[in-house]
Amino acid sequence: GQQLNQSPQSMFIQEGEDVSMNCTSSSIFNTWLWYKQDPGEGPVLLIALYKAGELTSNGRLTAQFGITRKDSFLNISASIPSDVGIYFCAGNSNYQLIWGAGTKLIIKP
Amino acid sequence: NAGVTQTPKFQVLKTGQSMTLQCAQDMNHEYMSWYRQDPGMGLRLIHYSVGAGITDQGEVPNGYNVSRSTTEDFPLRLLSAAPSQTSVYFCASSRGGHEQFFGPGTRLTVL
């Protein structure tokens, strides 16, 4: 089946640092989505991208839909403790969301 | 709006037992789906529905059945539970299959 490669697998950062993560695919997607999941909860949508080259922001979060439609990245600026969690990318293909394995964000005390 | 609700929150089954995981949404979304999430992995699609009376298989459908008799409800049935089905199950809904809203999950253990 289709696969999304999400990296890094985990990140240890200091509060206030910027964070960057990305997803790549061997297939083209029409939509890229970024979700965050807190422990014991379902994923929550952060940003949706619908056009190749699109750059979209949601507060301190910025995501881009790659020109080739095979990749996307998510940046978080000036991280804060509540940013801790697992971030997932997902690509939409024919009503089916294909998911990356997640990036676990940990903030060093 | 309650959004997407799932019951039960936790369930323990013995191998061979059957059960139904319930999912309901009150947003009048046409699209609903079921995923499983295993440790260290992303979500994998089990079954999905693009409207009442229409269902289709996802990536990992074996051992699971679904039906969609109403827009609001999309139950997932485990026919004969196996330890490999121990997982966290999420139901999601959306207007067009893109921006999906997730329920809180059902944590299932099969002994």
Give me the sign of the Cα torsion angle B94, A72, A70, A53: positive
Q: Which two tokens stand for residue A85?
A: 């969690």
* Predicted pLDDT of residue A1: 56
Q: Are B4 and A92 in contact (CB < 8 Å)?
A: no
In whole angstroms, what is the distance from residue A76 CA to residue A57 CA? 10
Q: Are A97 and B102 in contact (CB < 8 Å)?
A: no
Residue A108: pLDDT band with limits 50, 70, 90: confident
Q: What is the pLDDT of residues B8-31, one digit of tens each?
A: 999 999 999 999 999 999 999 999
Q: Which of A27, A47, A99, A103 to mutate to test the interface with B (most CBs of B within 10 A)?
A: A99
Q: Are A45 and B99 in contact (CB < 8 Å)?
A: yes
Shortest distance, CA A91 to any CA of chain B (angstroms): 9
Q: Are B31 and A95 in contact (CB < 8 Å)?
A: yes
Q: What is the pLDDT of residues B21-68, one digit of tens each?
A: 999 999 999 999 999 999 877 899 999 999 999 999 999 999 999 999
Q: What is the pLDDT of residues A16-49, one digit of tens each?
A: 999 999 999 998 999 999 999 998 899 999 999 9
Asked if A57 and A76 touch (Cβ cutoff 8 Å), the reply is no
* Predicted pLDDT of residue B98: 79
